Amino acid sequence: MNQISDEEKVHFAVVVDGDVAYTQVVWNRAENMVAALMSNPKIIPVPNELKGLVGEGWTFDGVQFIAPEVQ
């Protein structure tokens, strides 16, 4: 099994009120995840009724998650 080299990883520290809560290592080929984590994201809990449904293409209006329009 191939191991991912340190050059292929991006290390993030999740900081809450100045304290490091945990660290996350992401493979740099996961470009969407790296870009999201570098963009000062907000972490929003997904309501029970939407667990497993919310994903790429959905939006959040500050109150609720909105499914993408089916075309």
Q: Domain extents for the chain?
A: 6-66
Give the per-residue pLDDT at 71.
66
Give the per-residue pLDDT at 44.
94
Give the per-residue pLDDT at 7.
82
Give the per-residue pLDDT at 31.
93
Give the per-residue pLDDT at 1.
63
DSSP states along 5-71 = PGGGEEEEEEEETTEEEEEEEEETT-HHHHHHHTT-----PPPGGGTTT--TT-EE-SS-EEPPPP-
User: Which residues of the chain fall below pLDDT 70?
Assistant: 1, 71
